[in-house]
Chain A
Amino acid sequence: MAEVRALGIDVGSTTAKIVGIDDDGRIIWHVLEQADPQVGKQVEKFLELAREVTPILSVPIEGEREIGVPLIATGYGRKLVHQATRTVTEITCHARGVFRELGHGGTLVDIGGQDSKVIGISPKGEVVDFSMNDKCAAGTGRFLENTANRLGVHLDRLGEVTLSTVEEVSISSTCTVFAESEVISLIAHGVATEPILKGLHRSLIKRVVAMIRTVGLRPPLMLSGGVVRNPAIPQILQEETGEEVIIPRHPQLMGALGAALIALELVE
């Protein structure tokens, strides 16, 4: 394996990711885990793993920051990563990561567990505008997670079950909690699981589309974040926008990759 020259860590609300890149900015190592509320402990664990995988890697440790490879932290927990050389917001890091992966600008939609964001990226890879939904769970992965639990569908099967039907019921509540109540009511009235799930997905995507319109859609449309694993999300996003949805190879690692790329600039 090539030498890790820079590290990026993305401490999200649902998952934490660390990425190591080589001189050319390629991902050569990464770890992705469910986020631990004890961020410091998880970061320490990540750094230990980094030492194991790349013996020549000298990661920054307290008091010896100057001898290690640079580490940039991003994500909502970035300020808790005390080992970081610097912190950078997830907006900048996601834009950097996706530009590196796809090689073009456009509009990036990132749907995370607890927030979602839309980032306008210039042809040179610069952030030109952004919008975040961070006060309400209705436009986030948590919305689906909650309701999937209520419907007894495992998260990994959510997309498959959703796409298995052409029928759909409209979910009128935009609030996650009220939507759950609405789902219970629909089940009680004998509505099948699949159309409910499809309606829930559409409800989430409509909120994301409103954010896209706030920023202004600059094609192509790109999608990242944990919910990309659910195939119903890109499909319904495509239906709602009329734009082909492009997904990078590592959709969950874009923030950490962007952070590592910024760290690499420090080396250079």
Chain B
Amino acid sequence: MTAENAVLIPRRSEVASAFKQQGGLVAAVLPIHYPRALLLAFNILPMEVWGPPRVDVSLGSAHLQPYVCSVVRNALSFILGGGLDVADLIMVPHACDSLQGLGSILLDFLPPKQPVIPFYLPRGGSQQGEVFFAEELRFLYQRLEEIAGISPSNETIMKSIQWEEVADELLARLHKQRGRLQFKDHDFYRLIRTREYLPAEDFIDIAQSIFDADYEGQQEGIPIILSGIVPEPMGLLKTISEFGARVVADDLACCGRRLYPAGRSEDPFFRMAERILGGPPDWCRGSPIQDRLDHLHRMIDATDARGVIFYNVKFCEPELFDLPDLRQGLGDLGVPTVSIEVDISDPLSSQATTRIEAFFEMIR
């Protein structure tokens, strides 16, 4: 059964149009971490931009060095080609140097028609980091006030946070119980990636309907973990299924690395900071490699995964900096790994398919 048969997955453009028709605004948000709840408290729908794939990259390439990753290249191309005209603002979190560069290009050289808001994440999860981040969120609040023309109360923001916490709890359950759901990997990721653009309430409805269906199956296949940025081209997931394997957990920036825990603070800004900084380890928040390694190891233990596919976007420097140590560390623990590099604009190459196939032959 496909995701479309099981649940109706709305398209990004439809969701954005519907939200705007009801008087809301839309924010195009670049990867990776940002305060979804704060935007929604302003009645601004965050619409995440992971590339997207399949755009005319010549528009962005004219302004970027050849070694900039395809997520940033495609995003700039998409903006310049009018693909984000629906957005009322563009938010660029400083996840990496390339995204920071994109923010600078948009602010200083190629200003789009919408306001551009850069956004800084603290490196490291210390208490000082939380204080800094809460301040950054307060500053962001002021910028959003100017754009949206409203000033949501702390109570409104807290309500929005609580919706997000419920949605994230259901998202985490979907991740954990994926082996019992009726979705193949490709459909599962289409489903959970709706979190990139659906309001929390809508995502909750969809997730709840899946649990209500009470499907008690057991997916078959060689269990593997996927690590990287984004599962694009999504043909990868079909390839994994065709070779008799299945993804049992992931450490993808757009998915598993954003399973944020519920917050504790009564202050909404601190609570949002706590949640984002309390998520799984990630280079863009300065997590030590050992933390990432321990996290992967815990996932392997919990799922009996037989190996890890590092599925990286070419030229994603921070991801590639960590890669040799992660592979070495997992190798020392006897966990086989393979590294595949892709450009999200290209279809999965036959060479990449051969590597994946060889990896499954190795771990079968």
Contact = CB atoms under 8 A, between A and B. Distances in A.
A147 interface: no
Interface in B330-364: 331, 336-338, 350-351, 354-355, 357-358, 361-362
Q: How large is the interface on B (under 10, 10 to 19, 20 to 34, 35 or more residues)?
A: 10 to 19
Interface stretch (A49-57, A97-105, A128-136): A128-136
Interface in A206-228: 214, 216
Contacts, number: 39
A89 B336 contact: no
B350 A127 contact: no
A89 B351 contact: no
A2 to B, nearest CB: 29
Contact of B361 (A91, A128, A129, A135): A91
Given A127-B361, A128-B362, A89 B354 contact: yes
A89 B350 contact: no
Interface of A: 76, 88-92, 115, 126-130, 132, 134-135, 214, 216
B357 A89 contact: yes
Contact of A130 (B331, B351, B358): B358
Nearest to B341: A135
A91 B350 CA distance: 14
B336 A129 contact: yes
A89 B358 contact: yes
A214 B325 CA distance: 11
B94 to A, nearest CB: 30
Nearest to A214: B324
B354 A90 contact: yes
A115 B331 CA distance: 25
Given A128-B336, A129-B331, A129-B336, A88 B354 contact: no
Nearest to A119: B358
B250 to A, nearest CB: 22
Contact of A127 (B331, B351, B354, B362): B362
Nearest to B351: A134
B354 A126 contact: no
A204 B124 CA distance: 41
Contact of B354 (A76, A135, A216): A76
A132 B355 contact: yes
B358 A92 contact: yes
B362 A126 contact: yes
B69 to A, nearest CB: 16
Contacts of B354: 76, 89-91, 132, 134
Nearest to B355: A132
Given A92-B362, A130-B362, A132-B355, 9 more contacts: A89-B357, A90-B358, A91-B354, A91-B361, A92-B361, A129-B331, A129-B336, A130-B355, A135-B351
A135 B351 CA distance: 8
A132 B354 CA distance: 10
Contacts of B324: 214
A128 B354 CA distance: 16
B361 A88 contact: yes
A76 B354 CA distance: 8
B162 to A, nearest CB: 47
Contacts of A90: 354, 358
Contacts of B336: 128-129
B158 to A, nearest CB: 49
Contacts of A76: 350, 354
Contacts of A214: 324
B358 A91 contact: yes
A140 to B, nearest CB: 12
B149 to A, nearest CB: 50
Contacts of A132: 351, 354-355
A215 to B, nearest CB: 10
A89 B357 CA distance: 7
Contacts of A216: 331
B5 to A, nearest CB: 30
B358 A115 contact: no
19 contacts: A76-B350, A88-B361, A89-B354, A89-B357, A89-B358, A91-B354, A91-B355, A91-B358, A91-B362, A92-B361, A115-B351, A126-B362, A128-B336, A129-B336, A130-B338, A130-B362, A132-B355, A135-B351, A214-B324
Nearest to B331: A129
B222 to A, nearest CB: 15
Contacts of A134: 351, 354
B302 to A, nearest CB: 24
A85 B362 CA distance: 20
A129 B351 CA distance: 16
B331 A89 contact: no
B232 to A, nearest CB: 18
A135 to B, nearest CB: 7
A95 to B, nearest CB: 9
Interface in B308-344: 324, 331, 336-338
B361 to A, nearest CB: 4
Give me the 7 closest cross-chain CB pairs, A-B, nearest first: A91-B358, A134-B351, A89-B358, A92-B361, A127-B362, A89-B357, A89-B354
